[in-house]
Amino acid sequence: MATASAPHQTVRRPGGRSARVRAAVHQAVKEMLAEDTGDQLTIPAVATRAGVHPTTVYRRWGSVGDLLTDVATSRFSGDLVVPDSGSLREDLERYAADLARDLSDPDTLALVRAIVGAAGENADVCRAERQDQLEAILDREHARGNKQAPTVERAVDGLLAPLYYRAVFTSQTPTPEWARSLVAHLFPE
Amino acid sequence: MATASAPHQTVRRPGGRSARVRAAVHQAVKEMLAEDTGDQLTIPAVATRAGVHPTTVYRRWGSVGDLLTDVATSRFSGDLVVPDSGSLREDLERYAADLARDLSDPDTLALVRAIVGAAGENADVCRAERQDQLEAILDREHARGNKQAPTVERAVDGLLAPLYYRAVFTSQTPTPEWARSLVAHLFPE
């Protein structure tokens, strides 16, 4: 029922406006990163692009670092599938190849770089779920009694680290073939 | 001899003013990164801190990315010594431990993060000389006929990558002890 205090209100689920603002602001951030104009991302510029008032953005996210952290958290959640082929080596090869494909996408890489620059330790969000998933693959294997399964630390140093390093610090593309080749080094000959 | 056209000129080497401007601007960038105010580094803010006109900074460096690249190039050149103990493993362990110490310095890390955020592929300057030095250690060893020496790619993936990854993407400190432990994995048992 429309009331005098909210004459223009249309029927929407609770939180609808808040969710729309978030979607518009996230979309603006992604577009600005993809355009790669060389300009720095600022909250007023994001607000203008999203069609919302800068105060709304400041009130909700506080800083560019916090905003990018929120964008990255939703971008890097649930996007990769944890494989379970029955073979640990095959699962690790698939997982590494999927991550290589993801990190060679220019838009993904732009977001990773922006968050490293703006959010310091929050850059963790770019890889926290990947590490959890790697851990799940290895834990499952340890539970199956596979004594050859590497430790999580070895797998992080030997798979995640070269993938992110090559993507972020070099001009080489992390290819799926190269990513798969990293897995061999985790298993003693 | 003082001339009418330069009455206040004192005796300085050619390029003296230019070198002073560069030093002042570099120092301003380092201080602002070290203070970690959460504000983004902008050319007007750097110029104010350095006591120079923004136009001077724009004319010389063009963008924050180019300016940070210049600061990083001078920061990451010639700072690590290439060890030559006669033992490859020992040399790699020393090199990895030195790099871990460098990357666990908050000011170094702030510069690395800022350049990843602002300079895209130029983030290469943070590690190009380190890779050259690693290559020098390995080339020397191959020239000595050591067949056990790992390839440059293996050493980059197995040493440089985990060091930069841990520093930039995690809240763990890359300790010298952990860095040394990475070397063992480069040699088949």
Q: Is B113 in Cβ contact with A120 (below 8 Å)?
A: yes
- Quick one: A120 and A157 in the same domain? yes
B65 → chain A, closest CA residue: A38
Total domains in the fold of chain B: 2
Q: Is B108 within the bounds of a domain?
A: yes
Q: Is B144 within the bounds of a domain?
A: yes
Q: What is the CATH number of the domain that holds B31?
A: 1.10.10.60
**Chain B positions in Cβ-Cβ contact with residue A171 (cut-off 8 Å):** 121, 124
**Chain A positions in Cβ-Cβ contact with residue B126 (cut-off 8 Å):** 169
**Confidence check on the interface: ipTM exceeds 0.90, yes or no:** no
Q: Is A68 within the bounds of a domain?
A: no
- Quick one: A58 and A92 in the same domain? no
Q: Is B165 in Cβ contact with A160 (below 8 Å)?
A: yes
- Quick one: A29 and A93 in the same domain? no
**Chain A positions in Cβ-Cβ contact with residue B160 (cut-off 8 Å):** 165
Interface of B with A (CB under 8 A): 36, 38, 40, 42, 63-65, 110, 113-118, 120-121, 123-124, 126-127, 154, 156-158, 160-162, 164-166, 168-171, 182, 185, 188-189
**Chain A positions in Cβ-Cβ contact with residue B121 (cut-off 8 Å):** 171
Q: What is the CATH number of the domain that holds A180?
A: 1.10.357.10
Per-residue pLDDT of chain A (189 residues; tens, 9 = 90+): 444 444 455 555 557 888 899 999 999 999 998 887 656 688 999 999 999 999 999 999 988 889 999 999 888 887 788 999 989 999 999 999 999 999 999 999 999 999 998 877 788 888 989 999 999 999 999 999 988 899 999 999 999 999 999 999 999 999 999 999 999 999 876
Per the structure, the complete domain to which residue B47 belongs is given by: 16-62
- Quick one: A169 and A135 in the same domain? yes
Q: Is B99 within the bounds of a domain?
A: yes
CA-closest candidate to residue A102, choices A153, A166, A41:
A166
List the alpha helices (DSSP H) in A4-124. Answer: 16-35, 43-50, 54-61, 64-75, 88-103, 106-119
Q: Is A69 within the bounds of a domain?
A: no
Q: Is B34 within the bounds of a domain?
A: yes
- Calculate how close chain A gets to B51, using CA atoms only, in Å: 22
CA-closest candidate to residue A115, choices A80, A74, A155, A82:
A74
Q: How far apart are CA B41 and CA B65, in angstroms?
A: 10
